Amino acid sequence: MDHKQLRELEEKCTQGLPPACTTTCPVHVDVKSFLAEMKAGRFDGAMKILRKALLFPGIISRICDHPCQAACKRREAGDAVSIAALEKTCVRMSSIPPERISILTKKDKRVAVAGGGLSGLTAAFDLATKGYSVVLFESKDRLGGSIWDIPEEILPRDVILEETAVVANLGVEIRFNATVGENLSLTDLCRDFDAVYLGAGRYSQDTFNLQTSREGRILIDPVTFSTSQEGVFAGGGLRTGREYSPVLSHSDGKRAAKSIDRYLQKVSLYASREDEGPYQSRLFTSTKGVEPLSAVVPADPVQGYTREEAIQEAGRCLQCECLECVKACEYLAHFKGYPRKYLRDINHNLKMVMGAHTANKMINSCSLCGLCEEICPNNLNMGEVCKNSREIMVKKGKMPPSPHDFPLRDMQFSNGEMFALARPEPGQESSKHLFFPGCQLSASSPEYIVKTYSDLRKKLTGGVGLMLRCCGAPADWAGRKEHFLEARQEIVRLWNEMGKPCFILACSSCYQVFQNHLPEIEIVSLWEVMDRLGLPDVSTGKAGAGKVAVHDACTTRQEKHVHDSVRRILGRLGYEVEELEYSREKTECCGYGGLMSFANPELVRKVIDRRIKESETDYVAYCAMCRDKFASRGKRTFHLLDLIYGGGNSHLAEKKDPGYSQRHENRARLKDKLLKEIWGEKVEKAQGFAAIKLDIDDELKAVMEERLILVEDVQRVIDYAERTGNKLYNKDTGHFMAYHRPVSVTYWVEYSPRGDGFAIHNAYSHRMQIVGEVEK
Amino acid sequence: MSGQMNKIEKQSWQCCKCKIPMSPGNVKITYLGNDFTIELLKCPQCGLTLVPEDLAVRKMLEVEQSLEDK
Ligand code: SF4
Ligand code: SF4
Ligand code: SF4
Ligand SMILES: [Zn+2]
């Protein structure tokens, strides 16, 4: 993923792009902001917005053919917003004088404009402000052209006179009664001027000896407005003919002036002119759930809207925007922007060498769950972007160490001798299958692993091996590619050694890792196996067991067969299944994915709270981390195995997350238990620091959990202090204080001897290193 | 940073090995290649130091995080 790709991805997000009203307007009035000002009753502010796009707001607002309204999104829920009527009201009610127009330094080039109608006046206006000497030739004795045909009640004459006079005030020389093709030839103009704009109006039959189309109209380039003769440009009624539109003529004049300026400056006429004139908006806006409203009808149709009516009508504007993914994802909402902006920030962050990398936290907070891709009309996946960015940061040595240090060490623990295990079924030479429960289920509910493994051995022939370890998801999520590949390699080695068994996976994150990174290994989800082979005898269904709402794991978002198996199992257990609004391929992450909880604990609380509020019903999850996350914020949540092996006992839904220390302990004990009970091996008792007995009250336990300090970290500090004597003593309290830095974190423990162990009074840590401290 | 890091808890800690009270002194600390000198309680003889809880979980954490994003 390089900077160019990031910019392409940015283009996928349409948020912030102009809505349909603006892109359909030939001069791109910022209708959305205009209506926001109107709604707020700030008519002067609204007027300022109009003036940015309309050079003759008094005229255009009164006669505009408003193509914007046909494109207005409001039509999907009621009538289009009455944009034209509101512009008219604004012009009538605002009294703010126009700002002074600034003119660029005089240039030595001269431009002739033929025709004083809307397009000619516009071209003359723009060219004069750009510093050119402009002479405008008008065949009548007044400016405005065909707008004089409009009835006076609609377009008062003083408005025409007042607004067209501005052009002369800009220094444009005006010659009346001069008609090109009659008392003035195009050849003369071309000789006397550096460029010519023909805006002779829709009634002009003259083609000035220029190349014409089959219908006999002058050939005009739709992008540059140039004609067959160099330096001669044309637009307005001459171009549109019978489809004449005042606002389109206004736009033509502007676009032609831009071309003439480029022509005289000798730069490309064509470069980046895609979004000129009317075009289709790319902004997606959902009108789902928007209450339909009809247009406000003015009480006095002749006078138009009153102030109150105008405010009400402007209030019907939807203020079009996309934000679909932001509405669905708490993470995207948390950083107060949207993907287009985030991608820009990320691009900047990755490019930058020195200075504060302010997007680090944002990049590391995403759960990588992929919901955004499902929601986005253009399938933008911010999770992929964040993961790639993490990999780049790691590669460049720019990844902050603190957010991922702890989960990576947790992974190391699970792949170390305390937990890792790979055995064929006792008495079997080979393994057709292998049960891979994963590190987190083993830590949350070790008792179910033993039961599941027994049942699988009963039901499957050909040998069911067992492998305890971590699949490597934390390294993958952390962007540590090499680290992950090491873990992957070890799994492949063991798999080969055991005769290439089919892996039975109980954890959704493992499933995703195997699916994406270990394609050589055949996998099946435990839920599919149970669905196919039947449930264990203990869990015979009892109809009317109750209702549960299924929370699908985000890591099996695309695995429909897994979703189906889970639901069939629930049905067989006698449960009625409630579907959450966000489920199956649209499910949400529980907050564990992508290591979000380590990078941004505050955000995780919001993510969990949002998910658990979606239904009052008890949840059932089939990933241990999802279950524990929800339970940690007070939501009654079962693990699917609680319903299969635990009989759906109500208290199981309230079981607390065991905490990081206990998770280690549970894994280690599970390994010992399995070795003893299944393989009949003798297990040695804990020795060294692990044998140190600690007394820690619940309050301090909670603090340690938050500070990511494990019981074993505390044991190590005490072991070190007691061995070396490097400790402090407080004679007032009788407490000792010591610190130790096993690898990258310095742990401090305040303790005192109690019984055959130690009472712990405080524990904290820092990553900064005290220079000269003893490393051991 | 030194100016803000020298808030030292007045506690009666003493070094167990050297059996003498701790007293304020300069200590060098480092993170990601950035060195700082701060005033901490330390053993005048063997140099064993004390980083108080408040310093570790507030100011040090803050500085660590800003250095990580540099
Ligand atoms: S869904 Fe999100 S990423 Fe997609 S266009 Fe909308 S705001 Fe942008
Ligand atoms: S609802 Fe408002 S922003 Fe959307 S298209 Fe209509 S006028 Fe424009
Ligand atoms: S991957 Fe998930 S958490 Fe990340 S932005 Fe997309 S929806 Fe949000
Ligand atoms: Zn000492």
Partners of B13 on chain A (C-beta within 8 Å) are 728-730, 737
Q: How far, in Å, is the centroid of ligand 3 from the Cα of A383?
A: 5
Are A355 and A406 in contact by the 8 Å Cβ rule? The answer is no
The helix/strand/coil state of A646 is coil
Residue A734 pLDDT greater than 90, yes or no: yes
- For chain A, the average pLDDT equals 94
Partners of B30 on chain A (C-beta within 8 Å) are 768-769, 771
Predicted confidence at residue A772, as pLDDT, reads 63
- The kind and range of the H/E element at A769 are strand A769-770
Average pLDDT for residues A209-219, to the nearest whole number?
Answer: 87
Residues of CATH 1.10.1060.10 domain(s) within chain A?
A: 17-98+286-314
Number of domain units in chain B: 1
pLDDT digits (tens, 9 = 90+) for A224-274: 999 999 999 999 988 887 778 999 999 999 999 999 999 999 999 999 998
- Cα(A209)–Cα(A186) distance, rounded to whole angstroms? 9
The helix/strand/coil state of A241 is helix
**Interchain proximity A358–B12, CB inside 8 Å:** no
Helix axes A711-724, A660-677, angle to 10 degrees: 90
Pocket mutation for ligand 1, best pick of A12, A376, A385 (most atoms within 8 Å of C-beta): A376
pLDDT digits (tens, 9 = 90+) for A589-616: 999 999 999 999 999 999 999 999 999 9
Residues with CB under 6 A from ligand 1: A 13-15, 284, 322-325, 338-340, 375-378, 380
What ipTM score was computed for the predicted complex, to two decimals?
A: 0.90
Partners of A732 on chain B (C-beta within 8 Å) are 11-12
- Cα(A265)–Cα(A371) distance, rounded to whole angstroms? 50
- Cα(A315)–Cα(A38) distance, rounded to whole angstroms? 8
Please name the residues in contact with B11: beta carbons below 8 A apart, sequence gap of 6 or more. Answer: A730, A732
- What is the homologous superfamily of the domain A17-98+286-314 according to CATH? Alpha-helical ferredoxin (1.10.1060.10)
Question: Taking a contact as any Cβ pair under 8 Å apart, which residues of chain A between 641 and 700 contact chain B?
Answer: none
Residues of CATH 3.40.50 domain(s) within chain A?
A: 546-657
Partners of A735 on chain B (C-beta within 8 Å) are none
Are A144 and A226 in contact by the 8 Å Cβ rule? The answer is no
Q: Residue B63 sits in a domain of what CATH number?
A: 3.10.20
pLDDT digits (tens, 9 = 90+) for B10-67: 568 999 999 999 999 999 999 998 999 999 999 999 999 999 999 999 999 999 999 9
Which of B1, B4, B16 best probes binding to A when mutated, by most A CB atoms within 10 angstroms? Answer: B16
Helix axes A307-314, A31-39, angle to 10 degrees: 130
Half-sphere exposure of A670 (CA within 13 A, CB side): 31
The CATH code for residues A688-766 is: 3.30.2310
Predicted confidence at residue A542, as pLDDT, reads 64
Residues with CB under 6 A from ligand 3: A 329, 331-332, 366-372, 382-383, 589
Are A630 and A619 in contact by the 8 Å Cβ rule? The answer is yes
**Interchain proximity B31–A727, CB inside 8 Å:** no
The helix/strand/coil state of B32 is coil
Q: Does domain A110-265 have CATH number 1.10.760.10?
A: no
Residues of CATH 3.30.2310 domain(s) within chain A?
A: 688-766
Which of B60, B63, B66, B67 best probes binding to A when mutated, by most A CB atoms within 10 angstroms? Answer: B60
User: CB count, 10 Å around CB of B7?
Assistant: 12
Please give the single-letter amino acid code of residue A518.
Answer: L
Which candidate from A762, A765, A769 shows the least CB-CB separation from B31? A769
Average pLDDT for residues A442-463, to the nearest whole number?
Answer: 95
pLDDT digits (tens, 9 = 90+) for A609-636: 999 999 999 999 999 999 999 999 999 9
- Cα(A195)–Cα(A124) distance, rounded to whole angstroms? 12
pLDDT band at A670 (very low <50, low <70, confident <90, very high): very high
Of the candidate CATH numbers 3.40.50, 1.10.260, 3.80.10, 2.30.30, the domain formed by A546-657 belongs to 3.40.50
**Interchain proximity A739–B51, CB inside 8 Å:** yes
**pTM for the whole structure:** 0.85
pLDDT digits (tens, 9 = 90+) for A102-142: 889 999 999 999 999 999 999 999 999 999 999 999 999 99
- Domain residues for the domain of B22 are 2-69
